Amino acid sequence: MLKFIITHWTDEYDQFYTADDSFSILGEFDDLAEARACLSDSMNRLTAEQLSQHPGWHPMEIAKTGTTWLNKDNKVVDHRFFKVGDGTGFNSIYNYLEVIELPKDAVVDENLFNLERGGWAVSVVRRYFEMQRKK
């Protein structure tokens, strides 16, 4: 038996090219079709939200790479990558959403992810799960 989670990683840059990164789990599903529907809905919702919060921004091209380096041995079965910004290369938000296939009994915590990479990614992922445990 399997389950599916949707991860969302963002890299947000300001005019000084200072990055603000975030990570979250958008949902956990027993059905791949339901996860894919949520993935599409999440992409549309996030795009609309980010554009409404930043007048003058628009959807931009993005390289077709993602955060698969963040996964340890997880299988990414679907993804959506998109970027909104002002076109300068500075003021922008990169969004990476991935549907990950997991065993039904897998615990969804930081141990699912490649934290050996080190650096800023570790603190962003750990901070998300620490906040979830406090809820």
Predicted local confidence at residue 90, as pLDDT = 86
User: Which residues have CB under 8 Å from 79's CB, separation 6+?
Assistant: 39, 66, 96, 97, 98, 99
Q: What is the pLDDT of residues 71-85, one digit of tens each?
A: 667 899 999 999 999
pTM over 0.85: yes
Reported confidence tier of residue 92, pLDDT bands at 50, 70, 90: very high
Q: How far is residue 65's CA from residue 106's CA, in Å, rounded to a whole number? A: 26
- Please give the structure tokens belonging to residue 9: 């990683």
Closest CA to 111 of 81, 8, 2, 102: 102
Q: How far is residue 92's CA from residue 60's CA, in Å, rounded to a whole number? A: 9
Predicted local confidence at residue 54, as pLDDT = 94
Predicted local confidence at residue 72, as pLDDT = 66
Predicted local confidence at residue 13, as pLDDT = 87
Reported confidence tier of residue 68, pLDDT bands at 50, 70, 90: low
Q: What is the pLDDT of residues 1-28, one digit of tens each?
A: 999 999 999 988 887 767 788 999 999 9
Predicted local confidence at residue 119, as pLDDT = 64
Residue type, 28: E
